[in-house]
Structure 1
Amino acid sequence: MGTLTITRQATALIVQLYGELTLQTAPDFRKDIESAVNDNQTEYLVLDLSKVSFIDSSGIGMLVALKTQMTNRSISVFLLNPSEQARTTLQLVQLTSFFHILTGEDAMLTILPE
């Protein structure tokens, strides 16, 4: 099971994902994120993966599709502090260079508007 929380900081939408990103959770995650982005105020989408315990191929597909969709809308997408499991999965499918990955406590300060 998975849940998410969405917060806004200026023009950045910060989405904290919890639990599993799988066939069962990915469609709802994507729908919730797309709804939140539809306000036309978002320039940055930050997906915090620090609390993600598992990602399957559907979860990877959702992340790739979401990044592509947002990029087409001129919204920059970042993955923040992927958990060890999430980072391993991204490495296995060779997507670490496809995504902008931010790590560390101050990672978001480099991209967020003041």
Structure 2
Amino acid sequence: MNAAQLTINQRPTEKGTLIQAVGEVDLTTAPQLRIPLMDTVNSGGRDAVIVDLSQVDFIDSAGLALLVEARKRLAPEARPLHILLTAGRQPERVLKLGRFDTIMNLAYSLDEISVKETV
């Protein structure tokens, strides 16, 4: 069995801080995503946080819990959390089935994200 792999990239955009994950987000790799995500969440400011899962093949409950934790920490500051997805992939199906679209914005491109949009 191959160990799950995850690559993380982070960059500012005009719409907020983008954290891109490539690979799988599971119990073993979620800590790799946690560090830049929570650093961004805890940085203060008004910028949105954008987590790009469009190149993620798999996300499990550890990854989902991390997204919920980020949303809870951003809520008091009214900072939005946007999740970029690819239609038809496992992360999209899991997030929609779990009704995550009721607590965070699910989008398919940066162009879909409004700078002022909050969930």
**Structure 2 equivalent of residue 96 of structure 1:** 101
**Gap runs ≥5 in structure 2:** none
* Deviation by residue 1:17-39 (Cα, 9 ceiling, x = unmatched): 11111111112211222223444
Contact 2:84 2:110 in 1 (8 A): no
Q: 1:99 to 1:39 in 2, by over 3 A?
A: closer
Query: Which residue identity is paired with 2:103?
Result: F
Tell me the secondary structure at the aligned position of residue 28 of structure 2: coil
Q: 1:16 to 1:58 in 2, by over 3 A?
A: same
Question: Pairwise CA RMSD of aligned residues?
Answer: 2.1
Contact 1:19 1:54 in 2 (8 A): yes
* Deviation by residue 1:20-79 (Cα, 9 ceiling, x = unmatched): 111111122112222234443452001111001101111111111111112223321111
TM-score by structure 2 length? Answer: 0.78
**Structure 2 equivalent of residue 13 of structure 1:** 17
**Structure 2 equivalent of residue 107 of structure 1:** 112
Percent identity, please: 24
Contact 1:30 1:66 in 2 (8 A): no
TM-score by structure 1 length? Answer: 0.81
| Corresponding pairs, count | 111
Q: 1:19 to 1:42 in 2, by over 3 A?
A: farther
Give the Cα–Cα distance (whole angstroms) in 1 for the partners of residues 30 and 94 of structure 2.
15
Contact 1:43 1:74 in 2 (8 A): no
**Structure 1 equivalent of residue 92 of structure 2:** 87
**Structure 2 equivalent of residue 22 of structure 1:** 26
Give the Cα–Cα distance (whole angstroms) in 2 for the partners of residues 8 and 34 of structure 1.
15
**Gap runs ≥5 in structure 1:** none
Give the Cα–Cα distance (whole angstroms) in 2 for the partners of residues 39 and 62 of structure 1.
17
Q: 1:5 to 1:94 in 2, by over 3 A?
A: same
Give the Cα–Cα distance (whole angstroms) in 1 for the partners of residues 44 and 110 of structure 2.
28
